[in-house]
């Protein structure tokens, strides 16, 4: 029997690439959830995502359900939600609000990521297989190796986003406690565009940082940014094409079910190295200096204010155990942004004006 897979977040970076990767699979019927004001607008939104990844031709293979995680019954209507739940064999839950600027979020992380996840869980029958896109950063600021089996280790979180993803995982694990083989948890680190061209339509994390630094370099050429960060701390990135190869393999292979996977780089980059590369690329430099924000020079102070949501990620040495992932067929595991990749990122960001020239940028 064909698998009927319901994918949330298919208009997002990861869900979009994953949908495209599975779209030709003859063993699968794909159903996707799309937020939009009309059916035509929903179809147009996913068409643009597929066009971005070069798979517009697959549009006709998708069944689109117009809905919203923040609405009861996902905004589908009670009967339609019940029919969908009874029909699907698998759910890939990739939708989330991934913004982590707590100053602007005002509860959206909890509403979308926790309440929304509860609503997706309501679709499940006792036989449904569930694939949950979590994040390796549910580890929060845990100072030791975080195992795939770990979840609540008493960690402190950097922001509401991390907390909401942690709470969502707790909900899901509780829901599948009596049938753990049907739950697969996927925990990527920070996801970038494709490994060759850095192409993306999501301009958060390192893309946003690159934009801030580029502005700084334009306003204050040769600026020396001195602020409090740990040069030996690491940032863990994985390109979307690598991630989706792993995800598609896991979704396809019954042997992979029932586990948790840290889908991360095993060779994360240090702040020192990232600072050197970004400095060479943009003509700025960095100095780790523990000074209170009020005593920073004006250029550094403005950068620190604008980059505030990202700075907690420059202060930790997260370590993720990858035992389950290592059992997957070979695939690169040691991505780290280098000069070539950062240059490609800059070229892509300039060409798209950090997404402003793209009709699907997020
Ligand atoms: N990006 C990363 O670095 C990263 C790292 C680790 C884990 N993850 C996890 O991976 C998953 C996918 O992330 P992503 O990077 O692909 O994020 P993304 O590009 O921002 O996509 C998020 C997706 O969720 C959908 N969504 C958000 N709110 C919704 C709502 N209320 N109702 C229905 N759909 C909604 C979005 O729909 P719209 O298009 O309508 O906004 C979009 O399709 C998330 O669970 C995230 O937590 C991401």
**CA 321 to ligand 1 center in whole angstroms:** 24
Closest C-alpha to 236, from 108, 137, 303: 137
* pLDDT reported for residue 291: 83
User: Which of the four pLDDT bands, split at 50, 70 and 90, describes residue 361?
Assistant: low
Ligand 1 mean position to 193 CA, how many Å?
A: 14
Judge contact between 147 and 199, C-beta under 8 A: no
Find out whether the beta carbon of 9 lies less than 6 Å from any atom of ligand 1.
yes
* Ligand 1 center from residue 111 Cα (angstroms): 13
The model carries a pTM of 0.97
355 phi-psi bin (left φ>0, alpha ψ -120 to 50, beta other): left
Q: Which of 293, 250, 274 minimizes the C-alpha distance to 132?
A: 250
CA atoms within 13 A on the CB side of 247: 31
Provide CATH code, domain 3-191+237-263. Answer: 3.40.50.720
**282 CA distance to ligand 1 middle (Å):** 30
pLDDT of residue 292: 85
Strand partners, 132: 93, 185
Q: How far, in Å, from the CA of 357 to the mean position of ligand 1?
A: 21
Distance CA 173, CA 180 (A): 8
Cα of 359 vs centre of ligand 1, distance in Å, is 17
Give the position, in ligand 1's atom list, of the atom nearest the Cα of 191: 3
Q: Which atom of ligand 1 is nearest to the CA of 112?
A: 31
Share of the chain above pLDDT 90, in %: 90
Q: pLDDT digit string (tens) for 221-275?
A: 999 999 999 999 999 999 999 999 999 999 999 899 999 999 999 999 999 999 9
> Does 165 sit in the ligand 1 pocket, CB within 6 Å?
yes
pLDDT by residue (tens digit) across 58-110?
999 999 999 999 999 999 999 999 999 999 999 999 999 999 877 666 788 99
Contact between residue 240 and residue 194 where contact means Cβ atoms under 8 Å apart: yes
The DSSP output letter for 296 is S
Residue 143: its pLDDT value, please?
94
Ligand 1 neighbour 35 (Cβ under 6 A):
yes
Residue 256 is given by DSSP the state G
pLDDT per residue as tens digits for the range 186-214: 999 999 999 999 999 999 999 999 999 99
Q: What is the 3-state secondary structure (H, E, C) of 46-103?
A: HHHHHHHCCCHHHHHHEEEEECCCCCHHHHCCHHHHHHHHHHCCEEEECCCCCCCCHH
Collapse the DSSP code of 245 into the 3-class scheme (helix H, G, I; strand E, B; otherwise coil) and give the result.
Answer: helix
Taking the CA of residue 192 as reference, the ligand 1 atom at the shortest distance is: 3
Q: What is the mean pLDDT of the chain?
A: 95
Check if 188 has its Cβ closer than 6 Å to any atom of ligand 1: yes
Domain coordinates in residue numbering, the chain = 3-191+237-263, 195-235+269-317+336-352
């Amino acid at each position: 029997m064909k698998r009927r897979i319901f994918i949330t977040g298919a208009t997002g970076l990861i869900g979009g690439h994953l949908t495209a990767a599975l779209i030709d699979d003859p063993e699968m019927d794909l159903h996707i959830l799309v937020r939009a004001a009309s059916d035509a607008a929903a179809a147009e939104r996913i068409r643009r995502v597929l066009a971005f990844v070069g798979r517009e031709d697959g549009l006709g293979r998708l069944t689109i359900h117009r809905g919203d995680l923040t609405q009861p019954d996902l905004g589908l209507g009670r009967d339609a939600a019940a029919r969908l739940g009874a029909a699907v064999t698998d759910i890939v839950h990739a939708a989330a609000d991934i913004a982590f600027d707590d100053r602007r979020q005002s509860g959206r992380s909890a509403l979308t990521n926790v309440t929304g996840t509860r609503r997706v869980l309501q679709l499940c029958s006792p036989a449904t297989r569930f694939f949950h896109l979590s994040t390796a950063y549910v580890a929060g600021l845990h100072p030791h190796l975080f195992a795939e089996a770990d979840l609540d280790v008493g960690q402190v979180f950097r922001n509401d986003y991390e907390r909401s993803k942690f709470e969502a995982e707790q909900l899901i694990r509780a829901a599948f406690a009596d049938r753990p083989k049907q739950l697969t948890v996927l925990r990527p680190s920070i996801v970038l565009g494709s490994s060759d061209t850095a192409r993306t339509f999501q301009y958060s994390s390192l893309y946003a940082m690159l934009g801030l630094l580029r502005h700084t370099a334009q306003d204050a050429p040769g600026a020396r940014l001195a602020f409090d960060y740990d040069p030996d701390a690491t940032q863990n990135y994985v390109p979307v094409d690598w991630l989706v190869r792993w995800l598609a393999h896991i979704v396809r292979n019954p042997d992979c079910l029932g586990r948790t996977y840290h889908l991360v780089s095993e060779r994360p980059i240090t702040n020192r190295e990232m600072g050197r590369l970004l400095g060479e690329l943009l003509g700025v430099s960095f100095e780790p200096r523990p000074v209170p924000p009020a005593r920073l020079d004006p250029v550094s102070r403005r950068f620190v204010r604008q980059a505030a949501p990202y700075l907690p990620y420059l202060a930790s040495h997260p370590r993720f155990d990858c035992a389950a992932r290592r059992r997957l067929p070979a695939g690169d595991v040691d991505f780290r942004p280098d000069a070539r990749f950062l240059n490609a990122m800059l070229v892509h960001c300039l060409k798209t004006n950090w997404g402003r020239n793209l009709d699907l940028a997020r």
